[in-house]
Amino acid sequence: MAILRLTHVGICVADLPRSLHFYRDLLGFQFRSEIKVQGEPSNTLLQLPAVDLHAVYLERDGTRIELLDYPSPGVVGNDAPRAMNARGLTHLSLRVDDLARTLEHLRAAGVTILEASRIDIPAFEAAAVFICDPDGTRIELVQAPGDPEAPPGVTSDE
């Protein structure tokens, strides 16, 4: 038995067009595919009644996310940011080249910026802050020189 690879991270959304705009148009994820499913076997797999699901797959830097829109049975919860110590997935993280410019662009687009989370470390030319997607999922934006974890040929200046 072998786990072969990570395929995607699922994010339940309340308004698919709004979330597509956020992830695709503001954060640079690219559309890959989409599916629509209803009833069985999805009801059993997802452990939800009367499933009507529209899932859109987006990818960036080799990471694929799945936006899950449930016309039925609908979505639960609110758009308040989850506490970082709440169980489950806490956030996504993106590297940025210029945090101030990135925040200016996102602020103009109406994105929620958790200003109180911002840190600046001038000695390392580093900074970070959390923003929220339209449904309250936290996204960490990190500015730091160099990126030792970047794929070959990719620099933090790109």
In sequence order, what DSSP letters do the residues of 78-129 get, joined into one string?
A: -SSPPPTTSSS--EEEEE-S-HHHHHHHHHHTT-EEEEEEEEEEGGGTEEEE
Q: What is the pLDDT of residue 6?
A: 92
| 119 or 157, which is more confident | 119
Q: Which of 20, 48, 72 is the last residue of a domain?
A: 72
- Which residue range(s) make up the domain with 142? 78-158
**Is 4 part of any domain?**
no
Report the predicted TM-score, pTM, of the whole model to 2 decimal places: 0.88
Residue 32 maps to a domain? yes
**Boundary residue ending a domain (42, 72, 102):** 72
In the chain, how many domains are there?
2
Q: What percent of the chain has pLDDT over 70?
A: 92
Residues 83 and 151 in one domain: yes
CA–CA distance from 40 to each of 54, 76, 97, 135, 149 (Å)? 15, 21, 45, 27, 41
Q: 46 and 114 share a domain? A: no
pLDDT of 146 over the 80 cut: no
Distances (CA, A) of 93 to 31, 61, 67, 90, 143: 19, 12, 17, 10, 11
Domain end call among 18, 53, 72: 72
- Pairing mode of beta strands 9-13, 63-72: parallel
